[in-house]
Amino acid sequence: MDNVILALPNKGRLHKPALDILAEAGIRILDKGKLYGRTNDSELDVIFARAADIPRLVELGAADLGITGYDYVVEANADVEDLLDLKFGRASIVLAVKEVSGIETVRDLKPGLKVATKYVNIASRFFNRLNLKVEVIPITGAAEIMPHLNVADAIVDVSSTGTTLKIHGLKPIDVLLESSSRLIANRSSLKVKNDKIMEVRLALESVLKAKGKKLLMMNVPDKFLGKVLAVLPAMAGPTVAEVKAEERMWEVYTVINEDEVYKIINLAKKAGARDLLVMPIERVIP
């Protein structure tokens, strides 16, 4: 069977986070600086392409897998399998107008509105649903400048915090789409290379499940075990193992949310636990 090919963004806001999550999953790229390279997994290769092109590359089978933004998948109307939300690159596709335009909601929009965007299909479908005739102007560069050049009355663009829009005197009046990074797959590849594809998916999913989690370990004298277990949250119940000691003792460990560490440690300590140890978790595999 041929190697699985994974398409990655070659630059932009998704490039580094995509490489980071692969590294956390134990997948390292060996041929750095090239558009096509090997990884430390002999059955997995990577290619680098524009994030906007990745959905089409995966749909056509040029790549078996891809990491790209959900907004690009929707814009391309690509027939691919959405395998996993990778959580990074969160952003909104918004409709924005000048702050001084007098427009507050989409109900204030008039027919003939000029809208500049690189999301031509998403914008067109949005205005079709509103039954509003507008002129969608395709662009490839910065959209924020277009209303100030009188090229457009409004823009449809990606926004993470809204800061860039505000700096340029624009305000969002509606959200067309919520987006984040996704692991997508070619549908035919899923039938032929399913085992390897699911292996890659599991590796990435295990990293996501581990984020914000800590492993809490402790020793608990037998007489306090019930009280300690009563205060411990767990994914599937704490694990308990007997410790060979003069006093009957139990080793208890469980996975907890990072923001609960302080509270749970104090509760467990008061309930009779001792020798508490908090450890980082790299992966959680269901």
User: Which residues have a Cβ under 8 Å from the Cβ of 118 and sit 6 or more positions away?
Assistant: 52, 138, 139, 140, 143, 157
Distance CA 80, CA 154 (A): 31
pLDDT value, residue 273: 93
Q: Give the residue from 119, 114, 134, 39 showing the smallest Cα distance to 75.
A: 119
More confident residue, 213 or 137: 137
pTM of the model: 0.85
Distance CA 70, CA 139 (A): 20
In the β-sheet with 65-69, what is the strand arrangement from edge to edge?
36-38, 44-49, 4-9, 65-69, 181-185, 81-85
pLDDT value, residue 234: 65
pLDDT, mean over the chain = 93
Convert the pLDDT of each residue in 158-183 to its tens digit: 998 889 999 999 999 999 999 999 99
pLDDT value, residue 49: 96
CATH 3.40.190.10 location in the chain? 4-88+180-209, 91-179
More confident residue, 253 or 59: 59
For the chain, what percent of residues have pLDDT higher than 90? 81
Ranking 42-46, 95-99, 277-281 by mean pLDDT, the lowest is 277-281
- Fold (CATH) for 212-280: Alpha-Beta Plaits (3.30.70)
Is the pLDDT assigned to residue 286 strictly greater than 90?
A: no
User: Helix 194-210 vs helix 15-24: angle between axes, to the nearest 10 degrees?
Assistant: 90
pLDDT value, residue 131: 95
Is the pLDDT assigned to residue 284 strictly greater than 90?
A: no
Is the pLDDT assigned to residue 64 strictly greater than 70?
A: yes
Is the pLDDT assigned to residue 137 strictly greater than 70?
A: yes
Mean pLDDT of 130-155: 94
- Fold (CATH) for 4-88+180-209: D-Maltodextrin-Binding Protein; domain 2 (3.40.190)
pLDDT value, residue 107: 93
For residues 229 and 236, the answer to whether their CB atoms sit within 8 Å is: no
Distance CA 219, CA 240 (A): 10
pLDDT value, residue 246: 78
Give the DSSP H/E element, type plus range, for residue 54. helix 54-60
Is the pLDDT assigned to residue 199 strictly greater than 70?
A: yes
Integer-rounded Cα radius of gyration of the chain: 25
CATH 3.30.70.120 location in the chain? 212-280
Residues 91-179, CATH architecture: 3-Layer(aba) Sandwich (3.40)
Mean pLDDT of 187-205: 96
Quickly state the pLDDT bin for 235 (edges 50, 70, 90). low
